Amino acid sequence: MSDLMINTGSLPELSVSQLAALPQQQLQEFDLSLNLMATWIKQSRDRLNTALEQRYGEQARQSLQESGRDFGVTHIDDGALQVTYELPKRVSWDQKRLAEMAERITAAGENVSDFIDVDYSVSESRFKNWPSTLREQFEAARTVKPGKPSFRLALVEGGAA
């Protein structure tokens, strides 16, 4: 396989085993090419989205407002091109005020979970700085799972082949 010219266009035809068997230099070059392509795609997508916003954004928001909505999906016809515009609703809650409301609900004798979804968490940096006696009390509620691994490849001059 070392005699083959591998380029990023070959990815769909290569199996995972074939990729894993690539010579070190080709593996590193392939990785670098994919990273460059991913960066180019992200930058190009961002630029195109900005251009689409510039061209259709105001018209799309006006279309939403005319239909009595601030958020949602609308369609714009630009000649033979139909543009679908989606403006999602992003809701955030003031955590301090929610905590105050939860206290009032509890004080009124109601069950907080009937009204509010509560998600408890502890930052890992705080947890590590706690005294061991406190950490031990929380260990049973803590689950550690591996995240998705990532790899960075670099060829080292004079390294073993």
Model confidence pLDDT, tens digit, residues 76-102:
999 999 999 999 999 999 999 999 999
What's residue 5's pLDDT?
Answer: 53
Separation of alpha carbons 102 and 116, rounded Å: 8
Q: Residue 63: which of 72, 54, 52, 50 has the closest Cα? A: 72
What's residue 53's pLDDT?
Answer: 95
Question: pTM score, two decimals?
Answer: 0.66
Domain edges within the chain: 8-87, 95-141
What's residue 61's pLDDT?
Answer: 95
Looking at the predicted structure, is the pLDDT value of residue 10 above 90? no
What's residue 3's pLDDT?
Answer: 45
Separation of alpha carbons 58 and 64, rounded Å: 10
What's residue 1's pLDDT?
Answer: 41
Q: Is residue 115 within 8 Å of residue 105, measured between CB atoms?
A: yes
Model confidence pLDDT, tens digit, residues 111-143:
999 999 988 899 999 999 999 999 999 999 999
Q: Residue 10: which of 42, 27, 154, 39 has the closest Cα? A: 27
Amino acid symbol at 70: D
User: In this predicted model, which residue has the larger pLDDT, 153 or 103?
Assistant: 103
